[in-house]
Structure 1
């Protein structure tokens, strides 16, 4: 089955930018595959160049014909599922907004409310809270320099 697509200059530019700059590798590969099809390469040859199956190229071209750019961008399901559930994250946000606490204290509140241990390390909780706009500084117990000078004299 010979599948070719006609790309306008704007579509070609958009696909070139996607193939270089998109954050997900599979979207970059899809855009590159459509560019190869638009340049006149057959689906099996484009698939061999991108190290994917020819069926994938046919699927991408069908999605492009039916839905355009939205068909190309939809369907990214890659990546590991988040270890911190949405309910636990909502609890962490509520606790962090209520008062100033350390990550360990926030984790204890989450465990107490949900009745199960934290499914992740504190660094994961920190990243999730930073994604929601919170920032943290590590508490330091340091002596003031002037206090040290007075005791040494």
Structure 2
């Protein structure tokens, strides 16, 4: 057999789903091989893609022709029986959760406690089967916050969101963020054996003061100098001039938002239709503009932005002016 000739639309859809989502790697690559052959990719190319012999690919094709999708899935019990019992696997998962950064320490514990020697690949497979994934650990301030105050604020903001949806108010969020030539290094798809290198150097800081509402309508002010309370007050004054309906502005507890100078303006803004709502300390997830800053730093700013300070300015201003347009977040 040279090529898989005819596939129905339903078979193509099923094979694509198996290739993307099937839990077993062998079934994923077999379904992909069938799709490649249907697209007139030759057997030698498929062999080279998966580093298998021609006979293996021919067997895949024959199983497909005879049994369909079922021919691409291994029967239960196929392969070498596991040397580990279910209790031992559960014990391994618990050990990994206690030492999530070092699988080698888990291997050492297994050998010392149970006299069992397994490979790192086996430990990784057990982790994946248990739903564990290898991903970046996040910093958190949750342990420092007052949980009761957080829940009260969470409930209040939920009410404000509903009022925003009913067009009774405009619910906005305010915060500041800084950008320099020292990039936040993101994950990226890269060729095996090669690494994308992003330029990094010391530079002046571009401070962005931003306002965003639930519909991702965004306003910003950019400064090179220090951002103090006077700067923050001036920016909110400019923002207040544009409001058309009663507006609630959610802010965090930065020192520029809690100073006497800032507090002296709260009543004046309220008379102009702008109500300030401060969230409790250590509650960044209540301020959705944090999502905008994360998107800019890790996704929207191109690597070329870090070639020079002029490039950073140009690319940052380009991103800022397109937030709500080509750069948009659909807040739930």
- TM-score (ref. length: structure 2): 0.25
Aligned equivalents of 2:18, 2:80: Cα separation in 1: 19
Deviations 1:60-118 (A, max 9, x none): 11000001111111347357615228xx9xxxxxxxxxxxxxxxxxxxxxxxxxxxxx8
Contact 1:5 1:61 in 2 (8 A): no
Q: CA deviation at 1:19?
A: 0.7
Is 2:44–2:54's contact at 8 Å kept on the other side of the alignment? yes
- Checking the alignment, whether the CA contact within 8 Å between 1:15 and 1:31 is kept in structure 2 is yes
Equivalent position of 2:104 in the other structure: none
Q: C-alpha displacement at 1:44, in angstroms? A: 1.4
- State whether residues 4 and 34 of structure 2, in contact with CA within 8 Å, keep that contact through their aligned partners in structure 1: no
Give the match for residue 81 of structure 1.
Answer: 82
Quote the residue 1:151 is aligned against.
none
Deviation by residue 1:48-69 (Cα, 9 ceiling, x = unmatched): 1222222211101100000111
Match of 1:70 in 2: 70
Change (3 A) 1:71 1:15: same
Give 1:3 deviation, angstroms: 3.8
Q: Distance in 1 between matches of 2:115 and 2:70?
A: 34
How many pairs align?
A: 95
The aligned counterpart of 1:28 is 28
List gaps (5 residues or longer) in structure 1. Answer: 89-117, 121-126, 132-153
The 1:51–1:43 alpha-carbon spacing in structure 2 relative to 1, beyond 3 Å, is same
Provide the rounded CA distance (Å) in 1 between the counterparts of 2:13 and 2:80. Answer: 27
SS in 1 for 2:47: helix
- The Cα RMSD (Å) is 3.3
Q: Which has the larger share of helix? A: 1
5 Å-filtered alignment, 1:2-151, equals: 2-75=2-75, 77-78=78-79, 81-84=82-85
Does the 8 A contact of 2:43 with 2:57 survive in 1? yes
Pick the structure with greater CA Rg. 2
1:55–1:83 distance in 2 versus 1, CA, 3 Å: same
Runs of 4+ in 1 over 3 A off after TM superposition: 75-80
Cα 1:44–1:10, aligned 2, differ >3 Å: closer, same or farther?
same
**What is the SS of the residue equivalent to 2:2?**
coil
CA gap 1:119/1:6 in 2 versus in 1, 3 angstroms: farther
> How far has the Cα of 1:23 moved from its partner?
0.6
